[in-house]
């Protein structure tokens, strides 16, 4: 639920009036939990991000298709950042028009990136409100975190409108954390299994010899909430749980600002588990790249990727927001940024979310499911969650009822998944939720899954049981892909890059199919809390299933 505080958009506004608005469909409501803390002083400095219109986006998309399709002659022929830059760099005209516009407002303090498609400029609030007509900046606070955001939509001058995708730093609040939750369950007396590295490695068939050994391999976790991992927690975790396999106990690089506060469960979990499946692989942590109050940390991370030529091959990210709260212009541009990473051979893995199919209240007794972005992006690999059928044993896996999944309402179904998704829809017709709840023409997710329930995590020096969420399954899958990348590098093969086109061609081969259980959704009369259900082959709850490492390695080591 978002609450409307300062501004309401009269329904009378016709689409004509919106002509200067880049993000007319962006939610400007203040999310629950944030409190207003006054108008921003006119002299206060803000840092805003301008997303300049790129060139050759269709060519970029076609290139991504070719380099990610194992049946294409261009498979694995990735581009360098330099090559991406020459492809998408904004035209001279675009660059000139935007610069002139900024300069005409006295804005000259700007940074750019290697691809020149983002500019980040510092200006006072007074100048920002003149530049971006309609904007009104306020302070907001939540749990000690302070932000500046605009309570009203912004428009830009008609001359610059065609040259910009959007301006970052005005609207989007950091979404509520998909923080792994403590989900305590009431098991019968006896020793249930908590998930530890040894349990994961047993379930996914990783032997002690299945660790990284390639020189130039690396993996990363990224987090954008005010969350820190403590190196001492990782060391303690590996000391407790890493006895049975060779591993690293230190992160090689931290990019961004690590605060000094308490460790976050999420941050601890991500690092501890990517380094348990992706054992002995150099690991980076991207943390809070945006430190200025007007920045959007997720966007800052995307900007950073366009400015670093040497990046880890696999990134796992537990971050998502309601698709319906974000402007199409913003999501479309973020998708282009995902493509830019994909053509470089970078694999981006997003958690599918912890609210099942989600629920959006559309009116009195009228609901629909609620997809989450970037999980719903066609250009990333989205990871859902499972639990053990028998919590006392390493048995087969069933749906974890929180596992996020469903269909995008914005992005159409990509070709690589059409057969799989239509197969699912056909085979379960009789038991599908009502059609009014979801959109069968959209990108369907997740693509894969892993255990997401009942993990042990060391945080602030203390081992904590019962930690659950798709933010656990995502780094687990990330580590497995990194191991495979390592084996490919040793054979002189290119890394996996954007996995989906190849993953869907496997048709579930080398994965443990999850066929039992349903995830949650709207608590209303019609669906009664039930979303989609797992089924043989692909499904919108657990994707194709969970990794069987030796078989997956064999299947992905062929070309």
Ligand X SMILES: *[C@@H]1O[C@H](CO)[C@@H](O)[C@H](O)[C@H]1NC(C)=O
Q: Which residues are catalytic?
A: 266, 270, 471
Secondary structure class of 534 (helix, strand, coil):
coil
* 550 lies in the site for ligand X, by CB under 6 A: yes
Buried b (16+ CB within 10 A) or exposed e, 399-409: bbbbbbbbbbb
Interface pattern 495-534 for ligand X (x via CB under 6 A): ----------------------------------------
Q: 432 near 425, Cβ under 8 Å?
A: yes
Helix 328-342 with 57-68: angle, nearest 10 deg: 50
Q: 346 vs 535, which CB is nearer to ligand X?
A: 346
Residues that bind ligand X (rule: CB under 6 A) add up to a total of 22
In whole angstroms, give the CA distance from residue 334 to residue 193: 39
Q: 441 vs 509, which CB is nearer to ligand X?
A: 441
Shortest distance in whole angstroms from residue 389 CB to ligand X = 12
SS3 content of the chain, % helix, strand, coil (to 5): 30, 25, 45
Q: 310 vs 525, which CB is nearer to ligand X?
A: 310
Residue with tokens 């949650």: 520
Token code pair at residue 501: 């086109």
Shortest distance in whole angstroms from residue 368 CB to ligand X = 8
* 409 lies in the site for ligand X, by CB under 6 A: yes
* 122 lies in the site for ligand X, by CB under 6 A: no
Binding range to ligand X, per CB under 6 A, among 143-151, 220-228, 333-341, 544-552: 544-552
Q: 295 vs 318, which CB is nearer to ligand X?
A: 295
- Give the residue, chosen from 307, 390, 419, 509, that forms a contact with ligand X under the rule CB under 6 A: 307
Shortest distance in whole angstroms from residue 134 CB to ligand X = 26
In whole angstroms, give the CA distance from residue 412 to residue 449: 22
H runs (alpha helix) in 370-499: 418-427, 470-490
Q: 20 vs 550, which CB is nearer to ligand X?
A: 550
- Of 447, 449, 356, the C-alpha closest to 397 is 449
* 257 lies in the site for ligand X, by CB under 6 A: no
* 441 lies in the site for ligand X, by CB under 6 A: yes
* 113 lies in the site for ligand X, by CB under 6 A: yes
Interface pattern 210-229 for ligand X (x via CB under 6 A): -xxx-xx-------------
Q: Let me know if 356 is exposed, middle or buried by CB neighbors in 10 A (0-12, 13-18, 19+).
A: buried
Q: 52 near 119, Cβ under 8 Å?
A: yes
Q: 450 near 381, Cβ under 8 Å?
A: no
Q: 103 vs 441, which CB is nearer to ligand X?
A: 441
Secondary structure class of 443 (helix, strand, coil):
strand
* 287 lies in the site for ligand X, by CB under 6 A: no
- Give the residue, chosen from 68, 120, 196, 318, that forms a contact with ligand X under the rule CB under 6 A: 120
Q: 131 near 153, Cβ under 8 Å?
A: no
Shortest distance in whole angstroms from residue 216 CB to ligand X = 4
Binding range to ligand X, per CB under 6 A, among 6-14, 150-158, 422-430, 439-447: 439-447
- Give the residue, chosen from 111, 232, 362, 418, that forms a contact with ligand X under the rule CB under 6 A: 111
* 386 lies in the site for ligand X, by CB under 6 A: no
Interface pattern 186-205 for ligand X (x via CB under 6 A): -------------------x
Shortest distance in whole angstroms from residue 112 CB to ligand X = 6
Taking CB atoms within 8 Å and a gap of at least 24, the contacts of 96-103 are: 97/159, 97/160, 97/163, 98/50, 98/52, 98/160, 98/163, 98/164, 101/131, 101/156, 101/157, 101/159, 101/160, 102/50, 102/131
* 289 lies in the site for ligand X, by CB under 6 A: no
Residues 6+ apart with CB under 8 A from 243: none
Question: Residues in the site for ligand X, rule: CB under 6 A?
Answer: 111, 113, 120, 205, 211-213, 215-216, 246, 280, 303, 307, 310, 409, 412, 439, 441-442, 548, 550-551
């Amino acid at each position: 639920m978002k609450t409307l505080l300062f501004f309401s958009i009269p329904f009378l506004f016709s689409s004509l009036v919106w002509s200067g608005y880049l993000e007319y469909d962006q939610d400007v409501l203040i999310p629950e939990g944030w409190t207003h803390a006054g108008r921003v002083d006119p002299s206060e400095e803000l840092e805003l991000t301008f997303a300049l219109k790129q060139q050759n986006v269709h060519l970029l998309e076609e290139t991504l298709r070719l380099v990610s399709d194992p049946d294409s002659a261009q498979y694995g022929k990735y581009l360098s950042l330099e090559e991406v830059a020459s492809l998408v760099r904004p035209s001279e005209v675009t660059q000139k028009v935007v610069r002139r516009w900024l300069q005409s407002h006295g804005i000259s303090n700007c940074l750019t990136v290697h691809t020149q498609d983002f500019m980040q400029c510092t200006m006072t609030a007074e100048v920002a409100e003149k530049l971006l007509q309609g904007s009104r900046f306020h302070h907001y606070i939540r749990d000690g975190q302070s932000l500046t955001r605009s309570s009203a939509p912004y428009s830009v001058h008609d001359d610059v409108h065609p040259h910009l995708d959007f301006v970052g730093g005005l609207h989007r609040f950091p979404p509520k954390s998909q923080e792994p939750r403590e989900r305590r369950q009431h098991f019968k007396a006896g020793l249930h299994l908590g998930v530890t590295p040894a349990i994961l490695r047993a379930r996914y068939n990783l032997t002690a010899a299945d660790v990284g050994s390639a020189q130039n391999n690396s993996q990363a976790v990224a987090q954008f909430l005010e969350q820190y991992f403590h190196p001492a927690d990782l060391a303690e975790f590996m000391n407790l749980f890493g006895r049975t396999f060779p591993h690293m106990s230190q992160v090689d690089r931290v990019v961004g600002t690590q605060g000094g506060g308490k460790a976050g469960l999420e941050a601890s979990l991500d690092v501890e588990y990517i380094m348990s499946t992706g054992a002995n692989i150099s690991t980076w942590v991207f943390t809070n790249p945006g430190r200025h109050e007007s920045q959007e940390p997720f966007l800052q991370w995307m900007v950073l990727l366009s400015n670093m030529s040497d990046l880890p091959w696999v990134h796992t990210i537990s971050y998502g927001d309601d698709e319906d709260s974000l402007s199409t212009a913003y999501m479309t541009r973020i998708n282009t940024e995902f493509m830019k990473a994909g053509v470089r051979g970078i694999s981006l893995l997003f958690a599918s979310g912890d609210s099942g199919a989600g629920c959006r209240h559309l009116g009195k007794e009228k609901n629909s499911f609620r997809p989450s972005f970037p999980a719903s992006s066609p250009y990333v690999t989205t990871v859902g969650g499972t639990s053990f059928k028998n919590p006392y044993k390493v048995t087969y896996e069933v749906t974890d009822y929180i596992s996020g999944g469903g269909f995008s309402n914005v992005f159409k179904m990509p070709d690589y998944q059409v057969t799989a998704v239509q197969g699912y829809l056909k085979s379960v017709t009789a038991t599908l939720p009502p059609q009014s709840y979801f959109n069968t023409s959209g990108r369907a997710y997740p693509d894969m899954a892993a255990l997401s329930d009942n993990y042990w995590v060391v945080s602030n020096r203390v081992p904590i049981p019962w930690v659950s969420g798709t933010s656990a399954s995502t780094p687990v899958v990330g580590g497995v892909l990194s191991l495979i990348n390592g084996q490919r590098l040793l054979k002189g093969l290119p890394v996996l890059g954007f996995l989906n086109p190849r993953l869907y061609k496997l048709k579930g081969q080398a994965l443990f199919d999850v066929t039992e259980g349903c995830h949650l959704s709207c608590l209303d009369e019609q669906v009664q809390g039930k979303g989609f259900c797992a089924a043989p082959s692909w499904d919108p709850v657990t994707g194709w299933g969970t990794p069987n490492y030796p078989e997956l390695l064999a299947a992905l080591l062929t070309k």
